Amino acid sequence: MAGKFVEALFLVQGKVQGVSYREHCHNLAVKHGVAGYAKNSADGSVEILACSTPERVDAFANSLRTTRPIAARVDIVTEMSRKACTAPGQGFQRL
């Protein structure tokens, strides 16, 4: 799978809304070269779609699990799905 592109969907639970968590995700995505989005969900979680090489998506996911804004509390980061894709889109959106 190395060298091909993947799209992974994550769900982050905890105190992740109203604490600049989506901005944090954007900064991590830029750092790791990942395209996609982060958006608030009605249940208080944040949904994140990450698209890039498997290695970059894995590094991004590790950062989601190990870093956070000071006011946030991350209880769990769940990878909901992962699939191959033809190529990542452009940029990372905060929705």
End-to-end CA distance of the chain: 29
pLDDT at 3: 56
Take residue 64 and report the two structure tokens written for it: 């989601």
| Residue 1 reports pLDDT greater than 70 | no
Strands (E), the chain: 5-15, 35-40, 46-52, 73-85, 92-94
27 part of the active site? no
What domains are defined for the chain?
Answer: 5-89 (3.30.70.100)
Q: What is the pLDDT of residues 20-64, one digit of tens each?
A: 999 999 999 999 999 999 999 999 999 999 999 999 999 999 999
Distance CA 5, CA 15 (A): 31
40 part of the active site? yes
Take residue 26 and report the two structure tokens written for it: 């954007």
Residue with tokens 């995505």: 29
Q: What is the DSSP letter of 2?
A: T
